[in-house]
């Protein structure tokens, strides 16, 4: 599943409406930490690119909404959702500018693959070198 996290209901609704107009059927899940919109991972690559462009645009909108609600604070952190083997979900906070730089060169899917590989390596420690695996 492709997962898109939102922290405000307004951008999430716009995103859901957008992907429905593209013919996708999103699933939604609300947790303590975030509002998730999930799409099948077998979508056409060009469609995924269009969806990710819209997602990036709506992330900026989310940041602006948070800034309006807390003008003195500003947004300095972004979150990456981690799922452990036991099903527990955690969120790792990282600087928002770092997240922006990362997402300017790799897709959210590629970031998810990277994060999942790190979680797996931490949970299933293997001291052998890569060429021995």
* Per-residue tens of pLDDT for the chain, all 133 residues: 888 888 778 889 999 999 999 999 999 998 777 788 999 989 998 999 999 889 888 887 777 666 666 555 555 667 787 888 888 888 788 887 788 788 888 887 888 889 889 999 999 888 888 788 7
CB 19 within 8 A of CB 67: no
The DSSP line for 79-120 is: EEEEE-TTS-EEEEEEEHHHHHHHHTTS-HHHHHHHHHHHHH
Q: pLDDT at position 90, please? A: 80
């Amino acid at each position: 599943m492709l997962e898109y996290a939102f922290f405000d209901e307004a951008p999430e609704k716009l995103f859901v409406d957008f992907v429905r107009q593209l013919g996708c059927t999103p699933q939604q899940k609300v947790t303590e930490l975030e509002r998730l919109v999930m799409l099948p991972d077998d979508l056409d690559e060009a469609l995924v690119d269009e969806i990710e462009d819209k997602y990036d645009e709506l992330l900026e909108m989310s940041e602006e909404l948070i800034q309006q609600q807390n003008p003195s604070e500003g947004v300095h952190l972004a979150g990456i959702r981690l799922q452990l083997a036991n099903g527990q979900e955690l969120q790792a906070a990282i600087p928002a500018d770092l997240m922006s730089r990362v997402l300017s060169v790799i897709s959210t899917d590629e970031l998810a693959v990277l994060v999942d590989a790190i979680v797996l390596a931490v949970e299933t420690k293997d001291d052998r070198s890569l060429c021995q695996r």
